[in-house]
Structures are given as structure tokens and as C-alpha cells.
Structure 1
Amino acid sequence: MSRRFYELSPAERREQMVAEGRLTPEADELLAAPVGLDPHTASRLVENQVGQLHLPIGVVPGVLVNGRTYTVPLCTEEASVVAAAANGARIVRMAGGFTAVTPTRLMTGQVVVAEPRDPRLAERIGQCREELFAAAAQAHPSIIARGGGLRDLRVRDLPPADPAGGAAGTRGFVSVDLSVDVRDAMGANIIDTIGEAVAAVLRERFPDEEVLMAIISNYAVGSLVEVSCDLPAALLVPARAARGLEGEELAGLAERTARRIALASDLAQVDTTRAVTHNKGVMNGVHAAALAIGNDTRAVEAGCHAWAARDGRYRGLSQWSLTRPQGAAVLHGQMSVPLPLASVGGTIHALAQAEAALGLIGAEDAAEVARVVAAVGLAQNLAALRALVTDGIQKGHMSMHSRALAITVGARGEQIEQVAELLRSAERMNQDTARRLLAQVRAAAGEG
């Protein structure tokens, strides 16, 4: 009987992915390497470098998006993140997979004028549109050659922080928002270069005005990903709960499970206390995937959380609803998130393992990477909600946590799984119990 993917050793998993063509032999060697960055690279990636932190990369196999199956790397310290994403992806795969679209992939830059003297400054800047586009094209001709560049420009009047005069300025701001096609890059350097060129024009045209800054915005609403799935409710019932149930009884349990997931989703739309944790579940998958492929996790997190509060109330990023398109209960999930993920540039090529992890996905461009990562975030969210409204989140979490607890108290090699197995059936799972069980395991092995 063949073993399931999670039952294989790390070497066997990589060997299988090489055989499937998902991993090159060179990438296999990189991901297998127990060493970190070479000292020369590490000392130049960050200021004041003193050491390195190592985190494992796990994979979620079988993520079905738009009819194509992906293997997605996740870099995280928490075992349950990978397990939950894989479980959610498995359920959605049985229902036909995710549908995901990226309507546009544009990044935003801002050139800001502080305390405008001219009350019609925004209007006058708008009249310089052609000149600003020309300056943008001249500033970065290489992105134009690759089919990118400035796509749109809008000018906004912004109020002062404190109209009563307690803040630094009392006349507010004017923001020139630049929408830029950065192709497959994250685009910070491209946008900052274009922004500085636009700022230079504004300083020349409006010498009495104070141009405060030119900078990328991580509120990447021009890089939204829309992902959805439809799940027959029967797929949501855990196998152990379905044993012995048939017909109406099983259908009833399935519909109750779908309804409870939808209710948990509704709660995240009306209660910030719940919404934050709901979105943390989504970001468990998104953040771990972004980190694995060498992308800017802070930018992704900031943009997604801002998007969750776009109407003035912080809400859940994903929404689940119970539908009956043909009489039978179906759980519909949908989510839109700004995901300005890159497939070239930045630290991706400086970090060999990140480049290997990106190659594992096998996406053709950055937009495809974003669609796959969004699907993983929704899969993660599904698994968390399903666990939360059925067995409870703690049961699965602590089962996965048992290995980390065994390592914490000093278990090594085969002892880790032995202690973890004993912990899963113990009355209490804590360090004292783990130490006692480790002592038993060592005594049984004659280690004293």
C-alpha cells in the first residue's frame, strides 16, 4: 500500500516532486541543504547582521486553481499551518478546485504636496497630465521596453490631520496617485524612480509649493486577486463523523456544518474582535507562501489588513455563505485581497532557496503566483473555520503542537515522534508531561 505524501520522509517528498517534474534536481539540492546563507550574502542583505534564523519550508500539494494543480511552499514555524492548508486544499480539490482572477496588476505610487498654497492646485496638476506621463516614461525606459510603465494618474485633495490647527499643517495635502504596471516585479524601485521624476516636474511647475515625498504605497488595490470555490456540504463532514450515517442524517449533518461555517464567517463581518483572528487564519497561508518565495511579507500584510478596513470597519477578508443552487446545500467561499507578489527581482534571486521555492510553484508570471497564493489563503481559512465549528480548533492544533513540545524538552531523532505520540493521548499536554514521557522513552531504550 503506497504511503500518503505527509507520511514520506523529506527526502522522499523531494524525490517524488522531482519525478513529477515539479522540482528540478538543482532545486532539490538547494532545499535539502542544511546550511543557511553564505556569510558574504547574509552580511549584505541586512544592516548590522550578526546571525541567521532558520525556518522550515513545507509544501501544500494538490492546490487546484483554474484547472491546474500546484504544489505551494510555505515557510513557517507552525506545523498546523501547513496541515490546515493541505486539508482545505484537499476539500476544495474534490469539489473541482478554486476559481481565481487578477483583473489588473498595477502598483501605486504617491507624490505628495504638503499645505498647498493654491486652492486649485489639484486641478492645475491634472492639467499637466501629458507632461507627467512623459517624465515617467523618460525616468524608467526599461520598464516601458518590457511593456510596463505609468498607466493612470489621479490627483486628490486631502484634509489636514487636525483642522483646528493642532497638527503640523492646517491646509492639508494634495496627493498625485500613480498607477504603474511593474510587470512581474514588486516594483518599489521602479515606482520610486518614476515618482521622483514626477516630483521634479511639480517642483519646476509649482515652485511655491512644498513637494513632501515620492514613495510607493503598499495599499495595492490595483493588484487585487479574486478567488472563490463552491463546496457540496457533504465534503465538509469529517470521515470519523460520517461513519454509520446515511441519507437524510448525513445530509443534515453536512448542512449544519456548512451553516455553522457561514455563521462563523458572518461573525467576522460584524465583529472586529473575531475578524482579526479570522484574517490571521487567511494570512497564515498567504504570509507563509510569500516568505517562502522571498517576497515582502510586511507589505502584503499591511495591504491586506488595510483592505479589510476599506469601508471604515475592519471585517473578515473572506466570506462563506450557504446556498442551494439545485436544492442540495453548497458552501460558497469568496475572497478578494490585494497581493502584489513578485516573481522576479528583489531578494528572490539573492536567496537561492527562495528562488527554488518559487520554481516549485511553476507559475508563468507574478499574477499567476498571486492567484495561487490567494487560493492557499482561502484554503487555510476554510480548514480553520471547519475545525472551529466542529471539533474545536484546539484538538487539531495541539495534535500538531506535540512534536514541537517534544523538541522543546530535549527529544531528538526517533524520540520526537515517540514522545509526540504519547503526548497526544496524555490527559494534559504540557512541558512537565513531555519531560516525564521523554524520560520513559529514554529508559525504555536503555539510555538511563
Structure 2
Amino acid sequence: MGKSTASSRITSFYKLEHQQRLDKIAEFLGENIFNQDHFLDTGNTDFQIVDNMIENAIGTMNIPIGLATNMIVDGKDKLIPMATEESSVVAAVCNAARQCRDTGGFYTYTSEHIMIGQVQLINVINPMITKQIILENEDEIKNICNEVDPLLVQLKGGFKGMEIRILDDGHEYNVIVHIFVDTCDAMGANAVNSMVEALSPVLERWTNAKANMRILSNLADKRLSMARATWRTEDIGGEAVRDAMLSAFRFADSDPYRAATHNKGIMNGISAVILATGNDTRAIEAGAHAYACQTGRYRSLSSWGVDKDGNLCGTLELPMAVGLIGGATKVHPTAQQNLKILDIDSADDLARITCAVGLAQNFAAMKALVTTGIQKGHMSLHAKNIAVMAGAKANEVNKVTELLVKGGKIRIDVAEEILANLRH
């Protein structure tokens, strides 16, 4: 592959048609190594939709969508679409859900749909006086915020309160204004950001301070979701397995190195549902990991114990700022189809289901780790990917996968050798 001498400074790339953009890429690479046809095929999403969603769009990347079965959430059987590229994630949820069906599945709770908007005031002369001046004008602040989105107010959302924090950043005192906004069935980022931007010049006028940052917080700790479930001891392999899982939880809760992977496992399930429904995976992940630090150190998002009968009980609590309206959720056709599969009426329903999936994922990961090991199930499924990477055709993948798993060495060189033997 030769080095390109072309410049990446492409004027008005965003104005070009789809084919013209691909031609520019081919020109930049300098060799016939760019498959334009691959990017011209945008699957079941029209390029115009893609082009409207992001800047400088050139194509799409398909992520597999799997269906989690066996789930009972608040007494209702649910089929749950999950978008992920990682092997074993969907299977893990199915298995965990199957093992707690006899105890009623998952029970959930959600708090209000409150998002937090922040205004950072700097160059403050007297922080306590500034704080009181702002609090004295709460009614005016409410009016300013609600005028930004009257439709939200009609839906019984909008401004619901505020708090003022005084923060020493090591250089000066900042006064941080928090507004609390009920965003109803929306995630709410656009509404909240518009409100704090509208509020900022008024705060500056009242306080003679400067509004520096005006943005929502993804630590949505006033928009929590909880899920709980019970697994009977005899259904999960006995007391030894139960106690090993409890020990694994305590390890994660006391050691941030373990907690990082423990919580990542939870987010494997949660992020897959969030992505499948067109919601913001980065916002949910940032909020979750920040919430894991609420005690001052990074801990497990889940909690595990036993009930009066000695059965294993798990709970999961984390911020869940999801929406059914706005953004990719409303624009992306696949997200719309996935929401139909979920058969839900509100963002509250989506938050409950997503939290339940996270708990199921956590159960499955902990059980695998203390019994067969995480690699057995994961690598068995990953073997299909290895078979394809080795060049196996559609009619060869299953046989190569079978032989990889049987041999216990899930490597591409082994797959290539198996494939060569099969073909000869």
C-alpha cells in the first residue's frame, strides 16, 4: 500500500453527494484499495436519513441485533432486541432470565424523569450572597425555563426545582446552579441545554458574575432505575455456586480493578438495549460509572445477598436517562422497529426493561466466572467469528466452529488448518 500525498483538507465535503464523497476518499487513498460499493450499500436505512443524522456521512456499519428471550419484567413476558457485536451477551441474558422465571422474573422501579442542567458562574464576588440572590428569583427562573419548551409544560413536565452549590475549584469559588427538569418521555438533553442557555444571561445580570459553562449533567441521579430478581439455590447449582457468586460480588464491591470489569459486564446488556432503541449509549455509560463512585470510590452498581430461604437475590440501581422521542430514537427506522418489538408505551417502560437486562447480564457473568469460567461460553460463540476470519464460507462455518470448540483452541491459525483439511 502506497502512501497518499493528497491533502485531508477537502473543502465543503459535507455539500457533496454520496458518490462524490466516496470518489474523494478513493482519490485521497491514491490506490485501488477502497471498495466504494460497500459504502454505497446502506442496508435498510436510506442514505438521506444517515446523512441527516451525522456530518460527512459516507455509509453505515451494521451491528448485529439479537433477541433476548425468557424475560419476565413486572409480570409481563418481553422479547428484547439487543444490538451488540460481542459474543455471548444475548445468550447470557436468555440463560439468566430462564433461571429466574419460576420466581417471577424481574421486578423494577423508576423514579421521576428529572434531568439536571448546570450553569457554572465564575468571577463571583461573594458566593453566599450570590447563592441567595439566585434563590430569591426562583419563580422568575421557572418562567424563563418553561418558556423555552411550552410543549413540555403542557405534558406536565418542565422546571421542577433548583439547587445552588458552592464549589472551590482550587483557584476560585464557583457558584453552580442546578435546575431540575422533568423531561417526560424524552431523554431531554436538547430541552435542558436550551433552558440553561436561556437562563445564563439573566443570572449574569442578577449576580455580576460570568456564566462560563451551560450544559446538562449525565449524572442523572434524580432519574434512577432499579431492578431485582431472585434465583433459587437449587436452580443455579447449589449453595457452593451461590456462595461463590456472593464472594465475587464482595470482591467487585471492594476492589475498583474488579468493579470496572464487573460493571462493564452490566453495561454489556444495558448498552445493547440502549443502542438498539436509538438512545445515547455514551450518556448512559457515563452516568452509570459516575454513579458507581457516589460513595467516594468506584464500586459495584449491583448488590447481591440471600433471602430468608437462602436463595440468591440481586438488585441493580443506576441512572437511566432514556427517551422514546427525539434523536435517533425517532429518526432511525431500525430503532423504531425495535421499539415495536418491545411493545412499550413510555420511556419509563424502557428504563425498567433495560435495568432488568443489566441485572440478568450481571448474574450470568458472575455465575460463569465462578463455575466454568468466562471463556468457555464466550469463546464457543466467538469461534464462529474466528471461522469467518479464517475464510470459511457459509456452508463451512458450523463445521469449523464445531471442530474449534472440540479442540479447545479458538485461534485463527487453528481455524485455517481445520478449513484446509476440510477442503482437501
TM-score (norm 1): 0.83
Alpha-carbon offset, residue 212 of structure 1: 1.0
- 1:331 counterpart = 2:312: yes
Q: Which amino acid is 1:92 matched to? A: C
Number of residues paired by the alignment? 383
Q: Secondary structure at 2:341's aligned position in 1?
A: helix
Alpha-carbon offset, residue 43 of structure 1: 2.1
Relative to 1, partners in 2 of residues 1:427 and 1:190: Cα closer, same or farther, differing over 3 Å? closer
Give 2:96's aligned residue.
88
Deviates more, 1:382-391 or 1:420-429: 420-429
Cα deviation digits, residues 295-354 of structure 1 (max 9, x gap): 00000000000000111100011111134x1xx421010110101111111111211001
Give 2:130's aligned residue.
121
- 1:148 counterpart = 2:169: no
Cα deviation digits, residues 76-109 of structure 1 (max 9, x gap): 1112111111111111223211110002221111
CA–CA distance in 2 between the matches of 1:185 and 1:150?
A: 14
- 1:312-351 matches, within 5 Å, as 312-323=296-307, 325=308, 328-351=309-332
Q: Which amino acid is 2:152 matched to? A: I
CA–CA distance in 2 between the matches of 1:216 and 1:36?
A: 33
- 1:136 counterpart = 2:145: yes
Give 2:113's aligned residue.
105
- 1:157 counterpart = 2:170: no
CA–CA distance in 2 between the matches of 1:420 and 1:87?
A: 21
- 1:399 counterpart = 2:383: no
**Alignment counterpart, residue 268 of structure 2, candidates 242, 262, 284:** 284
**Does the 8 A contact of 2:204 with 2:211 survive in 1?**
yes
Which protein, 1 or 2, shows the higher relative CO under an 8 Å CA cutoff with sep ≥ 6?
1
**Does the 8 A contact of 2:322 with 2:347 survive in 1?**
yes
Q: Secondary structure at 1:79's aligned position in 2?
A: coil
Cα deviation digits, residues 101-121 of structure 1 (max 9, x gap): 002221111112013112321
Give 1:370's aligned residue.
351
CA–CA distance in 2 between the matches of 1:138 and 1:417?
A: 60
- 1:305 counterpart = 2:289: yes
Relative to 1, partners in 2 of residues 1:180 and 1:367: Cα closer, same or farther, differing over 3 Å? same
CA–CA distance in 2 between the matches of 1:181 and 1:412?
A: 52
Q: Which amino acid is 1:293 matched to? A: T
Q: Which amino acid is 1:349 matched to? A: K
**Does the 8 A contact of 1:102 with 1:223 survive in 2?**
yes
Q: Which amino acid is 2:115 matched to? A: M
CA–CA distance in 2 between the matches of 1:272 and 1:154?
A: 31
Give 1:77's aligned residue.
85
Alpha-carbon offset, residue 403 of structure 1: 0.6
Give 2:173's aligned residue.
172
Relative to 1, partners in 2 of residues 1:200 and 1:34: Cα closer, same or farther, differing over 3 Å? closer
Give 1:199's aligned residue.
200
CA–CA distance in 1 between the matches of 2:44 and 2:393?
A: 21
Give 1:210's aligned residue.
210
Relative to 1, partners in 2 of residues 1:91 and 1:116: Cα closer, same or farther, differing over 3 Å? same
Give 2:5's aligned residue.
none
Cα deviation digits, residues 46-82 of structure 1 (max 9, x gap): 1222332111100101211110111111111112111
Give 1:12's aligned residue.
none
Q: For structure 2, which runs of at least 5 residues remain unmatched after alignment?
A: 1-40
Give 1:6's aligned residue.
none
Cα deviation digits, residues 162-213 of structure 1 (max 9, x gap): 2xxxxxxx2221111111111111111111121122213212323x210112
Alpha-carbon offset, residue 123 of structure 1: 1.7
- 1:255-294 matches, within 5 Å, as 255-294=239-278
Cα deviation digits, residues 16-48 of structure 1 (max 9, x gap): xxxxxxxxxxxxxxxxx9814322222222122
Q: Which amino acid is 1:285 matched to? A: G
Q: Secondary structure at 1:211's aligned position in 2?
A: strand
Cα RMSD between the aligned structures? 1.4
**Alignment counterpart, residue 296 of structure 1, candidates 271, 274, 280:** 280
- 1:45 counterpart = 2:53: yes
Runs of 4+ in 1 over 4 A off after TM superposition: none
Relative to 1, partners in 2 of residues 1:427 and 1:88: Cα closer, same or farther, differing over 3 Å? closer
Q: For structure 1, which runs of at least 5 residues remain unmatched after alignment?
A: 1-32, 163-169, 238-253, 444-448
**Alignment counterpart, residue 73 of structure 2, candidates 53, 65, 69:** 65
Q: Secondary structure at 1:84's aligned position in 2?
A: helix
**Does the 8 A contact of 2:42 with 2:60 survive in 1?**
no
